[in-house]
Amino acid sequence: TRYFVDHRRVRVVGGQGGGGGQSFYSEPRKIFGGPDGGNGGDGGHVILKADQQTKSLSSVLPFYQGFHGERGGRKNCYGANGACVYVKVPVGTLVKEDGEVVADLTQHGEEYVAAYGGAGGKGNRFFLSNENRAPVLFTPGEPGQERVLHLELKTTAHAGLVGFPNAGKSSLLRAISRAKPAVAAYPFTTLNPHVGIVHYQDYEQVAVADIPGLIKGAHQNRGLGMAFLRHIERCRFLLYVVDLSVPQPWTQLQDLKYELEQYKKGLSERPCVVIGNKIDLAQSRINLPLLKDQIDERVIALSALTGDNLEELFLHLRELYDAYVKTEQSQGQSPVKW
């Protein structure tokens, strides 16, 4: 199963510079033509480039190295420079080194030189002087810069499905998009986030992330813990998925909001809607009016299994997305498009 990758550790090494050449010019009737060894070419850089078509860090490899520069040749010929290696990363990628942010690629086409290539060496022609008319000295190429970087994607999806294990988040994502997260009758089926795209008739696309289930104490790193609370932090609006078939389903919502607030203050106050799943069960129909009496948020009752009432979710999801786009544009920022 393909899943969303938002974190990568990458080792990058710039290409090594080519060594300088050592040679002396010689031809008939001009035996002592002097030194003519050219300089070596510079090594290639490793460059991170933000690309709008790339949505995940899954295609980023753990190691990249720039191409080496060529050695200097005879007749003062310089070696060719090594080619640069471009690594495509999604827009919104943070580049960290030793825990500090060194680059934030927020615009399409923006580049960051992750590792510089080494300078080429000097040929013996470079050391020609009045004092030394026949130098034999030449220098090797410099090694490329070597770094270990951590790439972190700060933008995952527009909406995040938040809920306890077995609330039906993966089934719901399968019902509204073409994503195929694993579905099974045991908790923590989803171990990695999945992102599905909801398509509308005007070609707008809303990205919905299936976040692994939270439990009480998730902010203390219990269960799957902190790593997935970080995913929720990046979503623009939240879809709370509540299992209507359990006794007192409103307590699930209270516990979820408490965990989000403990992780980051104000996180539970983002635009949201409560999705009451499993309405096809008899107990769920009894609990639905009780849930609406207990909470102030809008409740959309549906069944991810049978597809009942999915149309209402599609319409409200578009309303949340349009409100997000309008807010971003009013603040002079460009909304995230998929």
Structure tokens at 31: 């035996």
Q: Which helix (H) or strand (E) holds 12?
A: strand 7-13
Report field, pTM of the whole predicted structure over 0.85: no
Residue 71: give its domain's CATH number. Answer: 2.70.210.12
pLDDT of residue 151: 92
Task: Mark whether 164 and 145 lie in a shared domain.
Answer: no
Which of 153, 175, 197 terminates a domain? The answer is 153
Task: Mark whether 71 and 125 lie in a shared domain.
Answer: yes
Q: Which residues of the chain have pLDDT under 50?
A: 1, 184-188
> Domain limits at 237?
159-331
DSSP state of 37: P
Dump pLDDT digits (tens) for 147-172.
999 998 876 678 888 888 777 788 88
**Torsion from C-alpha of 202, 205, 206, 208, nearest 10 degrees:** 140
How many domains is the chain partitioned into structurally?
A: 2
Dump pLDDT digits (tens) for 100-136.
989 988 888 899 999 999 999 999 888 888 888 888 8
Alpha-carbon distance 205 to 281, whole Å?
31
pLDDT of residue 47: 95
pLDDT of residue 108: 86
pLDDT of residue 215: 66
Task: Mark whether 297 and 253 lie in a shared domain.
Answer: yes
pLDDT of residue 186: 44
pLDDT of residue 224: 53
- What's the burial of 282, exposed, middle or buried (CB within 10 Å: 0-12/13-18/19+)? exposed
pLDDT of residue 174: 83
Task: Mark whether 132 and 180 lie in a shared domain.
Answer: no
Burial track 66-93 (b if 16+ CB lie within 10 A, e otherwise): bbbbbbbbeebbbbbbbebbebebbbbb
Task: Mark whether 91 and 170 lie in a shared domain.
Answer: no
List, in sequence order, every residue forming a beta bridge with 103; answer none if it has no partner: 95
Burial track 205-229 (b if 16+ CB lie within 10 A, e otherwise): ebbbbbbbbbbeebbeeebbbeebb
Helix (H, G, I), strand (E, B) or coil at 24: strand
Alpha-carbon distance 25 to 288, whole Å?
92
Whether residue 337 lies inside any domain: the answer is no
Alpha-carbon distance 80 to 132, whole Å?
28
